[in-house]
Amino acid sequence: EEKAIERGILPILQRATLVQTFGQRNHVCLNEGSITIPPYAPPQKMQARQIPLDTPRSIFVYFRGLFYDVNNDPEGGYYARGARAAVWENFKNNPLFDISTEHPTTYYEDMQRAIFCLCPLGWAPWSPRLVEAVVFGCIPVIIADDIVLPFADAIPWEEIGVFVAEEDVPKLDTILTSIPPEVILRKQRLLANPSMKRAMLFPQPALPGDAFHQILNGLARKLPHQKSIYLKPGEKILNWTAGPVGDLKPW
């Protein structure tokens, strides 16, 4: 990290479009022309682990993963900027929180039984958990200050997720239990939209509206063009969120 910050983006790449997993806002390695993308999660494997849609969501908060990285951060506090450690220390005995370092064989099924899935930063701001949460309809609780999320024009992150500042982790139980049921239901309905799940995955072969398509859509917006090319009669500015004519989009 220190070397990357010191070196910055290599001169040969400074005019390039970088396609990279979620970055961090204002980071030296994330240039203005970057396209942020979700990390890879196996679509076929996830599809095979789907459980009936009417299965009750009996887990309030779910998380599986490291809270401390003893090997790389022996003194503690640096890993995840202390956010994961704060989750464990504050909620390891809270019955509303199903959290553990163990990774069970029922991990995917458990996420589908949970209302909220914690998606805290680790050594990087992003985690595959965010993809998994969206695919399995579990409301992502994003704990990563200044994270840059993928495909903001296709996925309404503010509407489907819950954003918690790293310093507010000790208040997670109060924050989540105070969310009105109608807000939770609205987020769950949005997450149930198949197009939103598709936008986070890289199936093979590619499908209209999938993550690969979102990348192509982002690249297309960077092509040189005259403003008159895609303007409809009466429009004065180009509406990129509508996409080029004939473009297949999930929104």
Residue 75 lies in a domain: yes
Q: What is the CATH number of the domain that holds 188?
A: 3.40.50.2000
The count of domains in the chain is 1
The one-digit pLDDT tens for each residue of the chain (251 residues) are 678 778 877 777 777 788 888 777 877 777 677 888 999 999 999 999 999 988 999 999 999 999 999 898 887 778 999 999 999 999 999 999 999 999 999 999 999 999 999 999 998 888 889 999 999 999 999 999 989 899 887 889 999 999 999 999 999 999 999 999 999 999 999 999 998 899 999 999 999 889 999 998 888 877 766 655 555 666 655 444 444 444 444 33
Residue 67 lies in a domain: yes
Owning domain of residue 90 = 43-200
pTM for this model (two decimals): 0.84
Residue 32 lies in a domain: no
Residue 101 lies in a domain: yes
Residue 183 lies in a domain: yes
Residue 12 lies in a domain: no
Residue 23 lies in a domain: no
* Six token digits for residue 74: 């022996």
Residue 14 lies in a domain: no
* Six token digits for residue 102: 């163990």
